[in-house]
Amino acid sequence: MHHANHYYGHSHVLARYCGLDDRDPPRIGGHLQHGWNIGDGMAGDHEFVPGVPLFLWSERTRRRAWSLGRRQTYVVGAPWAYLVAGEPDPEPERPREGTIFYPFHGWEGQHVVGDHDRLIAEIRATEPGPVTICLYWQEYGVKRVRQRYERAGFRVVCHGHRGGRWEKLDPDFLRRQLAEQRRHRRVASNRLCSAIFYGTLAGCEPAVYGDPMQLDGEVPLWGGQPRIRRQWAELHGPYVDQAVARAAAVAELGADRLLTPAELRRLLRWPEPCRPTADAAPPAGHARPDRHADPAEENR
Protein backbone atom coordinates (compact mmCIF):
# COMPACT_ATOMS: atom_id res chain seq x y z
CA MET A 1 0.00 0.00 0.00
CA HIS A 2 1.31 3.45 -0.89
CA HIS A 3 1.72 5.33 2.38
CA ALA A 4 -0.37 8.24 1.04
CA ASN A 5 -3.44 5.95 1.04
CA HIS A 6 -3.36 6.26 4.83
CA TYR A 7 -3.32 10.08 4.88
CA TYR A 8 -6.01 11.60 7.12
CA GLY A 9 -7.28 8.10 7.91
CA HIS A 10 -8.75 7.67 4.41
CA SER A 11 -8.14 3.93 4.22
CA HIS A 12 -9.59 3.56 7.70
CA VAL A 13 -12.82 5.36 6.76
CA LEU A 14 -13.27 3.16 3.70
CA ALA A 15 -12.46 -0.02 5.63
CA ARG A 16 -15.10 0.83 8.23
CA TYR A 17 -17.65 1.46 5.48
CA CYS A 18 -16.78 -1.89 3.90
CA GLY A 19 -17.29 -3.75 7.17
CA LEU A 20 -13.58 -4.44 7.69
CA ASP A 21 -11.18 -3.69 10.54
CA ASP A 22 -10.75 0.07 10.47
CA ARG A 23 -7.80 -0.07 12.85
CA ASP A 24 -5.85 -2.24 10.45
CA PRO A 25 -7.23 -1.61 6.93
CA PRO A 26 -6.24 -4.00 4.14
CA ARG A 27 -3.78 -3.00 1.46
CA ILE A 28 -5.42 -0.91 -1.27
CA GLY A 29 -4.67 -2.29 -4.72
CA GLY A 30 -3.78 1.08 -6.20
CA HIS A 31 -3.28 4.75 -5.44
CA LEU A 32 -6.10 6.61 -3.67
CA GLN A 33 -6.53 10.35 -4.20
CA HIS A 34 -5.89 12.03 -0.86
CA GLY A 35 -6.64 15.69 -1.54
CA TRP A 36 -8.49 17.95 -3.95
CA ASN A 37 -6.46 19.33 -6.82
CA ILE A 38 -7.05 20.67 -10.32
CA GLY A 39 -5.04 17.99 -12.09
CA ASP A 40 -5.28 14.22 -12.14
CA GLY A 41 -6.02 13.90 -8.44
CA MET A 42 -2.57 12.59 -7.58
CA ALA A 43 0.03 14.53 -5.59
CA GLY A 44 2.65 15.98 -7.91
CA ASP A 45 5.49 15.26 -5.48
CA HIS A 46 4.74 11.53 -5.16
CA GLU A 47 6.10 8.78 -7.35
CA PHE A 48 3.56 6.23 -8.55
CA VAL A 49 4.01 2.81 -10.05
CA PRO A 50 3.05 2.87 -13.76
CA GLY A 51 0.04 0.73 -14.59
CA VAL A 52 -1.30 0.66 -11.02
CA PRO A 53 -4.97 1.76 -10.77
CA LEU A 54 -5.79 5.27 -9.63
CA PHE A 55 -8.84 5.57 -7.38
CA LEU A 56 -10.19 9.09 -7.85
CA TRP A 57 -12.85 11.05 -6.04
CA SER A 58 -15.00 12.23 -8.92
CA GLU A 59 -15.88 12.00 -12.56
CA ARG A 60 -14.52 15.54 -12.97
CA THR A 61 -11.15 14.40 -11.66
CA ARG A 62 -11.22 11.28 -13.85
CA ARG A 63 -11.75 13.43 -16.93
CA ARG A 64 -8.87 15.68 -15.99
CA ALA A 65 -6.69 12.61 -15.42
CA TRP A 66 -7.74 11.22 -18.80
CA SER A 67 -6.74 14.47 -20.50
CA LEU A 68 -3.30 14.16 -18.88
CA GLY A 69 -2.80 10.64 -20.22
CA ARG A 70 -3.93 8.66 -17.17
CA ARG A 71 -6.00 5.74 -18.36
CA GLN A 72 -6.46 3.18 -15.59
CA THR A 73 -8.66 5.40 -13.43
CA TYR A 74 -11.72 4.57 -11.33
CA VAL A 75 -14.19 6.88 -9.64
CA VAL A 76 -14.86 5.81 -6.05
CA GLY A 77 -15.90 9.02 -4.28
CA ALA A 78 -13.97 10.84 -1.57
CA PRO A 79 -13.63 9.12 1.82
CA TRP A 80 -15.09 12.32 3.29
CA ALA A 81 -18.30 11.82 1.32
CA TYR A 82 -18.68 8.30 2.75
CA LEU A 83 -18.08 9.64 6.25
CA VAL A 84 -20.66 12.45 5.95
CA ALA A 85 -23.26 10.08 4.47
CA GLY A 86 -22.58 7.30 6.95
CA GLU A 87 -22.38 9.32 10.16
CA PRO A 88 -25.38 11.68 10.49
CA ASP A 89 -25.05 14.72 12.68
CA PRO A 90 -25.76 13.47 16.25
CA GLU A 91 -27.24 16.88 17.15
CA PRO A 92 -28.94 18.15 13.99
CA GLU A 93 -31.15 20.60 15.89
CA ARG A 94 -28.26 22.29 17.67
CA PRO A 95 -27.73 25.82 16.29
CA ARG A 96 -24.45 26.26 14.44
CA GLU A 97 -22.36 29.25 15.41
CA GLY A 98 -19.46 31.16 13.97
CA THR A 99 -16.83 30.30 11.38
CA ILE A 100 -14.09 27.73 11.15
CA PHE A 101 -11.25 29.21 9.08
CA TYR A 102 -8.46 27.18 7.51
CA PRO A 103 -5.40 29.32 6.71
CA PHE A 104 -3.47 27.95 3.74
CA HIS A 105 -0.79 25.68 5.16
CA GLY A 106 2.52 24.18 4.21
CA TRP A 107 3.54 20.56 4.43
CA GLU A 108 6.55 18.59 5.58
CA GLY A 109 8.57 19.58 2.50
CA GLN A 110 7.57 23.25 2.12
CA HIS A 111 6.58 26.05 4.46
CA VAL A 112 4.09 28.86 3.89
CA VAL A 113 5.25 32.37 3.11
CA GLY A 114 2.64 35.00 3.97
CA ASP A 115 1.40 37.68 6.33
CA HIS A 116 -0.67 36.09 9.11
CA ASP A 117 -1.37 39.47 10.71
CA ARG A 118 -2.90 40.75 7.48
CA LEU A 119 -5.07 37.63 7.24
CA ILE A 120 -6.19 38.09 10.86
CA ALA A 121 -7.29 41.64 10.06
CA GLU A 122 -9.31 40.42 7.05
CA ILE A 123 -10.99 37.70 9.12
CA ARG A 124 -11.89 40.18 11.85
CA ALA A 125 -13.37 42.56 9.29
CA THR A 126 -15.45 39.82 7.64
CA GLU A 127 -16.69 37.35 10.24
CA PRO A 128 -19.63 38.47 12.40
CA GLY A 129 -19.47 35.65 14.94
CA PRO A 130 -16.90 33.66 16.91
CA VAL A 131 -14.00 32.31 14.87
CA THR A 132 -12.16 29.02 15.16
CA ILE A 133 -8.81 28.84 13.38
CA CYS A 134 -7.73 25.37 12.32
CA LEU A 135 -3.99 25.13 11.76
CA TYR A 136 -2.13 22.27 10.13
CA TRP A 137 0.00 20.43 12.66
CA GLN A 138 3.13 22.11 11.29
CA GLU A 139 1.89 25.65 11.88
CA TYR A 140 0.10 24.64 15.09
CA GLY A 141 3.43 23.49 16.50
CA VAL A 142 5.05 26.87 15.81
CA LYS A 143 4.29 28.90 18.92
CA ARG A 144 4.67 32.31 17.28
CA VAL A 145 2.15 31.41 14.56
CA ARG A 146 -0.40 29.84 16.88
CA GLN A 147 -0.19 32.70 19.38
CA ARG A 148 -0.88 35.32 16.71
CA TYR A 149 -4.33 33.88 16.22
CA GLU A 150 -4.87 33.29 19.93
CA ARG A 151 -3.97 36.90 20.74
CA ALA A 152 -6.53 37.99 18.15
CA GLY A 153 -9.19 36.32 20.30
CA PHE A 154 -9.72 33.31 18.05
CA ARG A 155 -10.12 29.76 19.25
CA VAL A 156 -7.27 27.72 17.71
CA VAL A 157 -7.47 23.97 17.02
CA CYS A 158 -5.66 21.31 15.03
CA HIS A 159 -7.39 18.26 13.57
CA GLY A 160 -4.24 16.17 14.06
CA HIS A 161 -1.40 14.66 12.08
CA ARG A 162 -2.16 13.37 8.60
CA GLY A 163 0.40 10.57 8.89
CA GLY A 164 3.23 9.71 6.56
CA ARG A 165 5.54 6.81 5.73
CA TRP A 166 3.26 4.59 7.84
CA GLU A 167 4.01 6.64 10.96
CA LYS A 168 1.78 8.89 13.11
CA LEU A 169 -1.30 7.45 11.44
CA ASP A 170 -4.55 8.92 12.74
CA PRO A 171 -7.71 6.94 11.87
CA ASP A 172 -9.92 9.58 13.53
CA PHE A 173 -8.58 12.67 11.73
CA LEU A 174 -11.62 13.11 9.46
CA ARG A 175 -14.10 12.33 12.22
CA ARG A 176 -12.65 15.14 14.36
CA GLN A 177 -12.77 17.46 11.37
CA LEU A 178 -16.40 16.59 10.71
CA ALA A 179 -17.35 17.13 14.36
CA GLU A 180 -15.70 20.58 14.31
CA GLN A 181 -17.32 21.64 11.06
CA ARG A 182 -20.76 20.60 12.24
CA ARG A 183 -20.38 23.03 15.15
CA HIS A 184 -19.94 25.99 12.77
CA ARG A 185 -22.28 27.88 10.47
CA ARG A 186 -19.51 28.92 8.05
CA VAL A 187 -16.32 27.39 6.67
CA ALA A 188 -13.71 29.67 5.14
CA SER A 189 -10.15 29.72 3.86
CA ASN A 190 -7.81 31.99 1.95
CA ARG A 191 -7.61 29.38 -0.83
CA LEU A 192 -10.16 27.07 -2.40
CA CYS A 193 -9.18 23.70 -0.94
CA SER A 194 -10.42 20.33 0.29
CA ALA A 195 -11.60 21.84 3.59
CA ILE A 196 -13.98 24.22 1.77
CA PHE A 197 -15.57 21.39 -0.22
CA TYR A 198 -15.69 19.24 2.93
CA GLY A 199 -17.39 21.93 4.97
CA THR A 200 -19.89 22.68 2.22
CA LEU A 201 -20.87 19.01 2.00
CA ALA A 202 -21.18 18.97 5.80
CA GLY A 203 -23.70 21.83 5.69
CA CYS A 204 -21.54 24.92 6.25
CA GLU A 205 -21.81 28.18 4.30
CA PRO A 206 -18.50 28.49 2.41
CA ALA A 207 -16.26 31.50 1.80
CA VAL A 208 -12.85 32.00 0.18
CA TYR A 209 -11.15 35.33 0.77
CA GLY A 210 -7.95 36.91 2.06
CA ASP A 211 -4.28 36.87 1.09
CA PRO A 212 -3.83 33.41 -0.50
CA MET A 213 -0.20 33.23 0.68
CA GLN A 214 2.13 30.79 -1.05
CA LEU A 215 4.50 27.92 -0.47
CA ASP A 216 8.21 28.63 -0.38
CA GLY A 217 9.32 27.87 -3.93
CA GLU A 218 5.76 27.11 -5.05
CA VAL A 219 5.35 25.86 -8.62
CA PRO A 220 1.90 26.65 -10.13
CA LEU A 221 0.99 23.12 -11.27
CA TRP A 222 -1.82 22.83 -13.85
CA GLY A 223 -2.30 26.60 -13.86
CA GLY A 224 -2.11 27.20 -10.11
CA GLN A 225 -4.11 29.86 -8.31
CA PRO A 226 -4.86 31.98 -11.41
CA ARG A 227 -6.64 29.02 -13.02
CA ILE A 228 -8.50 28.14 -9.80
CA ARG A 229 -9.80 31.69 -9.46
CA ARG A 230 -10.90 31.70 -13.11
CA GLN A 231 -12.51 28.26 -13.19
CA TRP A 232 -14.17 28.43 -9.78
CA ALA A 233 -14.78 32.20 -9.64
CA GLU A 234 -18.26 31.70 -8.16
CA LEU A 235 -16.75 29.99 -5.10
CA HIS A 236 -14.55 32.97 -4.20
CA GLY A 237 -15.59 35.85 -1.98
CA PRO A 238 -16.71 36.42 1.62
CA TYR A 239 -20.25 35.28 0.75
CA VAL A 240 -20.94 32.52 -1.77
CA ASP A 241 -24.16 31.16 -3.26
CA GLN A 242 -24.79 28.03 -1.20
CA ALA A 243 -26.65 26.14 -3.93
CA VAL A 244 -23.82 26.70 -6.39
CA ALA A 245 -21.21 25.72 -3.79
CA ARG A 246 -23.14 22.60 -2.81
CA ALA A 247 -23.34 21.45 -6.43
CA ALA A 248 -19.59 22.01 -6.86
CA ALA A 249 -18.78 20.12 -3.66
CA VAL A 250 -20.91 17.14 -4.68
CA ALA A 251 -19.26 17.07 -8.10
CA GLU A 252 -15.66 17.46 -6.90
CA LEU A 253 -16.00 14.99 -4.01
CA GLY A 254 -17.96 12.44 -6.04
CA ALA A 255 -20.75 12.44 -3.46
CA ASP A 256 -23.12 11.43 -6.26
CA ARG A 257 -20.93 8.48 -7.22
CA LEU A 258 -20.57 6.54 -3.97
CA LEU A 259 -20.36 2.77 -4.25
CA THR A 260 -21.89 -0.01 -2.23
CA PRO A 261 -19.54 -1.80 0.18
CA ALA A 262 -19.41 -4.79 -2.17
CA GLU A 263 -18.51 -2.63 -5.18
CA LEU A 264 -15.85 -0.75 -3.27
CA ARG A 265 -14.29 -3.94 -1.91
CA ARG A 266 -14.13 -5.35 -5.43
CA LEU A 267 -12.38 -2.28 -6.85
CA LEU A 268 -9.89 -1.97 -3.99
CA ARG A 269 -9.31 -5.76 -4.06
CA TRP A 270 -10.38 -6.13 -0.47
CA PRO A 271 -11.68 -9.34 1.15
CA GLU A 272 -15.23 -10.07 2.25
CA PRO A 273 -15.97 -9.02 5.83
CA CYS A 274 -16.33 -11.53 8.63
CA ARG A 275 -19.64 -9.94 9.59
CA PRO A 276 -22.54 -9.13 7.27
CA THR A 277 -22.85 -5.64 5.76
CA ALA A 278 -25.62 -3.78 3.97
CA ASP A 279 -24.31 -4.19 0.44
CA ALA A 280 -27.53 -3.54 -1.42
CA ALA A 281 -27.14 0.20 -1.92
CA PRO A 282 -24.78 3.14 -1.39
CA PRO A 283 -25.43 5.54 1.51
CA ALA A 284 -28.90 7.07 1.55
CA GLY A 285 -29.36 10.02 -0.75
CA HIS A 286 -26.46 9.15 -3.06
CA ALA A 287 -26.86 7.94 -6.61
CA ARG A 288 -25.38 4.67 -7.71
CA PRO A 289 -23.19 4.75 -10.85
CA ASP A 290 -24.30 2.72 -13.83
CA ARG A 291 -21.16 0.62 -14.23
CA HIS A 292 -17.83 -0.10 -12.57
CA ALA A 293 -15.16 -2.19 -14.17
CA ASP A 294 -12.72 -4.45 -12.44
CA PRO A 295 -9.35 -2.72 -11.82
CA ALA A 296 -7.72 -5.33 -14.02
CA GLU A 297 -9.67 -3.88 -16.96
CA GLU A 298 -9.40 -0.42 -18.46
CA ASN A 299 -12.06 2.05 -17.35
CA ARG A 300 -13.69 3.47 -20.46
- Give pLDDT tens digits for 26-46: 999 899 999 999 988 887 665
Per-domain boundaries in the chain: 3-87+255-268, 99-252
Q: Is the pTM of this model over 0.85?
A: yes
Fold of 99-252: Rossmann fold (3.40.50)
Higher pLDDT, 219 or 67: 67
- At residue 299, does pLDDT exceed 50? no
| pLDDT at residue number 291 | 43
pLDDT category at 254 given cuts 50, 70, 90 is very high
**pLDDT 10s digits, 149-185:** 999 999 999 999 875 555 667 889 999 999 999 999 9
For 49-81, give one letter per residue: b (16+ CB within 10 A) or e. eeeebbbbbbebbbebbeeeebebbbbbbbbbb
**How much is the pLDDT for 161?**
87
